[in-house]
Structure 1
Amino acid sequence: MENNIRVIRQAKGLSQQALADLAGLSRLTVTYAEKGTNEPTIDTGAKIAKALNVSFEDLFFNQNVHDDIHGLTNDKEVSK
Structure 2
Amino acid sequence: MESRVKDLRTAAGLTQQALAEAVNVSRQTINSIEAGRYDPSLTLAVHLARYFDTNVEEMFHVP
What's the TM-score, normalizing by structure 2?
A: 0.84
Aligned partners of 1:53, 1:24: CA distance in 2, in Å?
Answer: 17
Q: Which runs of 4+ in 1 moved over 6 A?
A: none
**Unpaired segments ≥5 residues, structure 2:** none
Identity %, equivalent residues: 33
Question: How does 1:1-80 map onto structure 2 within 5 Å?
Answer: 1-61=1-61
Q: RMSD across aligned C-alpha pairs, in angstroms?
A: 1.1
Counterpart amino acid of residue 18 in structure 2: A
Counterpart amino acid of residue 17 in structure 1: Q
Count of residue correspondences = 61
The answer as to whether partners of 1:6 and 1:34 remain within 8 angstroms in 2 is: yes
The answer as to whether partners of 1:23 and 1:50 remain within 8 angstroms in 2 is: no
Structure ID, larger Rg:
1
The answer as to whether partners of 1:49 and 1:59 remain within 8 angstroms in 2 is: yes
Structure number with the higher strand fraction is 2
Aligned partners of 2:53, 2:15: CA distance in 1, in Å?
Answer: 15
